[in-house]
Chains A and B, each alone.
Chain A
């Protein structure tokens, strides 16, 4: 059906016309140049594009998309290429439009608490630019020191604080975008309210299938005055899960509730020399935040709940340094798993929170039955799992067995009433599973929307929807930047 890629009319003419828009130094088409862009954070998928365009202005991006439209050449927007689901993997014969040089913070309005940014601005750069006003940009994916706001918008990225603050979409007030049709649109604006349908809401999370975001208006929040962060170790995962249930039932609304299992702890303690309570199958991290008076009065309540949950040990952070250490261990866990295994697959499924214990038990059983080790680090407050399926890519058949296990975990999430992805997006990786969540009519509805924004199927084709053109999965493991120790994943 729809979303088929229109064949390129004439690549040579296209490249020539590309030269009318950008100087030669900003069009990359040599073998070696292309190689650097062949994949994203899902390193298993590789495709060489026709060329890479490096625009520096919005006008150039608009001209590039209109050229692609006129010449029927597919294009893929690219931020920092940290997508874990193959979202920014190039399309064969297509153009990659990199947005890293559109990295200006156009406006900060401390009174209205917003920032207007270009898509190539790095997530942490926003908070950095507004910190002096006591403000911050809430969504905090673990890749935040490197991923772009454009990528966050395309994937509706999350982080450790989604329970209380929501995802990227909850913080996007306005958008300017060039759609795949060549139309430039402006949705939303400076107000935190809106009239008429929520176009921003529809655009965020489109996985690059609608067009390219050129300018994004982000809401900023006052930075929480104080934090109370507790790390508690438990003999069993079940006990840690019970503690989460007790906290949820108490009426507290923590900023974050995270769990790491034994294998993830082993990796984290090796990587950042963190010392966790000994003999624990799980560690729980809970964080309260807010005005000092509020946290002071909720703190005894949380401490009592944790004491009653039979931890091996509970350690409240006594100062900012101890808090930072707790989070460092948590955020390094995934990259640290790279020390335990040469390759791994990261999953991102969601289950109803009350079934977390059951889900983890079933993952453990499935992983035992398959003879594959699986580490778990997850957003317990959201029911968002991140099982890391460990395997050795040099062993024949190991990847295939790992993928079968990954597929079984996704099916389990859907069967439990959850989702195949909480924050990493469908991309290439999970597109064959979209149909496990949506029936034929629902998929058709999604297709029709895609066609409305992109009738020629030029914007990031082959992602989100199954169409049988995926390059074969070859290998999973650390992102090259993680191997270099520059970033770590959640």
Chain B
């Protein structure tokens, strides 16, 4: 069992980092594999660091402590007609803002305006030397200093412990409309993903469902326009418009990962639509399930048991098995940057 500290202020967070030779931040642990580390590592929970510290709707920005549940953030934004367009995962499960940045996986809505990397503006964090520093900015546009906040996307807490984060937000589209487009196989799906992504419709989300038999295409915008766009899309690809209730349930099930096996590994991959048919075949051969999102640029794969390879690099989010499958060897610069941010090697390596 790892020792766990729960600081309640940013100063306490810095002190907690300094207090032990090996530490790792955790949020709600909705992705336990990412923080499954050696027993001598002291865990620092951010659950005592919760709350939105600044929110100016007319700035399109908010700043919140790292342990703030995403649920609270999305609700606060929604009350002012705004949102984080990249659809963060596991709202109901209690995922935190800091854990979401460190995990670096964006949901279906990332298709239109980009993912976490396109909305993170600034981070106040504790580096490996135990110093509380803030890089990036609090305004929507800033080019001063290196873009360390972007680097932290997907950094798995291995380069710094986030205390407070500033994100850009967008006005929430007035309405959404989801189409279900049946597909015969992954080849057909890949075709639709590619064609639809290049079309004039400004699609909001474009996913191949875990049932593997249909593409879900979501439009977002003014109520008067969406049915007209939907009509044209349905003449290009046969399918149906889902009722609002059915669509909400579909996206919520994806967001909360209800389609996954309860045991066995859950993995994340980055890919292109062209790589989809081969990946889908590998997953099927192992009796697994796959949710392809971001128009065929990211996938979550749930398997009944561990496997050695999916043919593409993969990160284990949950369940047994190594943290990485088929990870490319890191360049020499990776070690130098790790030393720069964590000179005493307080945080675990990205490899474990």
Interface residues of A (CB under 8 A from B): 110-113, 133-135, 155-156, 158, 162-164, 166-167, 169-170, 179, 181, 183, 185-186, 189-199, 201-202, 204-206, 222, 225, 245, 248-253, 290-291, 293-294, 296-298, 348, 350-354, 379, 382-384, 417-426, 430, 434, 437-439, 441-442, 445-446, 448-453, 464
Contact = CB atoms under 8 A, between A and B. Distances in A.
15 contacts: A170-B118, A191-B272, A195-B104, A195-B269, A196-B155, A197-B153, A204-B147, A293-B229, A294-B225, A297-B224, A421-B143, A426-B144, A434-B144, A438-B135, A445-B131
B215 to A, nearest CB: 16
A439 B56 CA distance: 25
Of the candidates A167, A383, A442, the one having the most CB atoms from chain B within 10 angstroms of its own CB is: A442
Interface string B297-328: 11000000000000001110000000000010
Given A198-B104, A294-B222, A297-B224, A190 B150 contact: no
B30 interface: no
A155 B59 contact: no
A351 B120 CA distance: 18
Contact of B117 (A111, A201, A450): A201
B143 A419 contact: yes
Contact of B152 (A162, A164, A197): A197
Contact of A202 (B151, B197, B298, B314): B151
Contacts of B270: 189, 191, 193-195
Given A222-B200, A297-B222, A354-B56, A195 B140 contact: no
Interface residues of B, number: 85
B333 A379 contact: no
Of the candidates A191, A199, A442, the one having the most CB atoms from chain B within 10 angstroms of its own CB is: A191
A448 to B, nearest CB: 4
Interface string B202-225: 100000000000000000011111
Contacts of A348: 143
Contacts of A294: 202, 221-222, 225, 229
A158 B141 contact: yes
Contact of B58 (A166, A181, A249, A441): A249
B211 to A, nearest CB: 22
Given A185-B333, A290-B202, A422 B229 contact: no
Interface stretch (B3-11, B18-26, B247-255, B335-343): B335-343
Interface of B: 56-60, 81, 104-106, 110, 113-115, 117-118, 127, 131-135, 137-148, 150-156, 158-159, 170-172, 174, 194, 197-202, 221-225, 228-229, 268-274, 294-295, 297-298, 313-315, 327, 331-333, 336-337, 339-341, 343, 350
Contacts of B201: 291
Contacts, number: 265
Contacts of B336: 181, 452-453
Contacts of A198: 104, 117, 150-155
8 closest cross-chain pairs (CB), A and B: A201-B150, A193-B298, A293-B225, A452-B336, A202-B151, A419-B142, A448-B340, A192-B297
B56 A352 contact: yes
Contacts of A420: 144
B298 A191 contact: yes
Nearest to B102: A197
B126 to A, nearest CB: 11
B145 A192 contact: no
Contacts of B135: 438, 442, 445-446
Of the candidates A134, A196, A446, the one having the most CB atoms from chain B within 10 angstroms of its own CB is: A196
B141 A167 contact: yes
A452 B314 CA distance: 27
A449 B337 contact: yes
Given A196-B315, A202-B151, A350-B139, A291 B145 contact: no
